[in-house]
Amino acid sequence: MTRQRGDRRILPAVAVVASAAAMVILALRLDPATLDYGAGTVPVVVPWLAAVAAIVLAVVGLTPLATSVGGTALVAVGVITTGWSISTLLFDALRAVQLVPLPLSGWGLGLRLLLLLGAAAALHPVLHARASTRGRCPTCGRWRPGTLARLPLWPVAVGLVFALPYPVMRISWILGGTLGTTGGPVDADRTLQLVMAGAGVVLVALATVLLIDRGPSWLRVVLGFGGLIAGAGLCATFGPAAVGVASMLLAPGAGMPPAAGLMPWVFLVFYGSWFVAGIGVALGGLRYWTHRRYDCAACRDLRA
């Protein structure tokens, strides 16, 4: 019993330590530019809220409040603030492999990784506590499906539709098309264009698999969890970016000059479509993951 109690406290302890370390970085490096958050993309108060929410959630996860309405609200606050705080993590990865020719902020990357670790470690015990209230299937021994297993399929279809513009336009440019360009060739290496178009095709393929909703349990775990992470990353990264571009295009007297040989509206289409596609893929991944019940006739029909 003592060992089980100690095991239950490991993840909350990790969450507290990681979040406290993130707060130290925030206290030492208050300049948003140093943290690589850009001009107003992520207000500096948001990472503070994410760190505090993770610490509180780590404590709540060890109490009966984990399954209460307040616990649910705290989970929502933690997910939103953490997702917003790590919204540039994808750009960090692109800069690390030099696909984006901008300097990488070590402080900012470290902060975002600590916030992600803290939130994940704090969230797991809460989700486990909520699952335990549903009981286990007497046949397969797994937790019975809950509310998330009733997610509809139509958001995945919407995500698939919005995942198409990026690879379609990229492929058209590779083939010599000029839609959305300033009239000349796109200012990017051909190999890089192929890689970026391939990434768009992979996203479309993932959304298609999630929409078809077939596959063995192991594939549902891999693609479901992968879709959830990828979709959430797209939402957190390109939602603020789409809002920023839209504000520049719609502000009176303001304007956005062409960049990389592309018209400004192309960036709005790309960022906006990635944001919507991210929502669909994230929900589709969660749905695909929670529907891994085809090998158990006793609980697979409890999904709906």
* pLDDT tens column, 70-111: 888 888 888 888 888 887 777 777 777 766 666 777 888 888
Query: In sequence order, what DSSP letters do the residues of 47-66 get, joined into one string?
Result: HHHHHHHHHHHHHHTTSGGG
Q: Give the residue with greater pLDDT, 302 vs 167.
A: 167
pLDDT given for residue 207 in this prediction: 93
- 4 pLDDT band, cuts 50/70/90, is very low
Beta carbons of 263 and 181 less than 8 angstroms apart: yes
For the chain, count helices (H), then strands (E): 11, 0
Cβ neighbours for 73, distance < 8 A, ≥ 6 positions apart: none
Closest CA to 41 of 287, 276, 238: 238
pLDDT tens digits for 212-267? 988 887 888 888 888 888 888 888 778 777 777 777 777 665 555 555 566 777 88
From residue 50, give the alpha-carbon distance in Å to each of 20, 42, 117, 120, 196: 11, 12, 11, 12, 31
Q: Give the residue with greater pLDDT, 207 vs 247.
A: 207
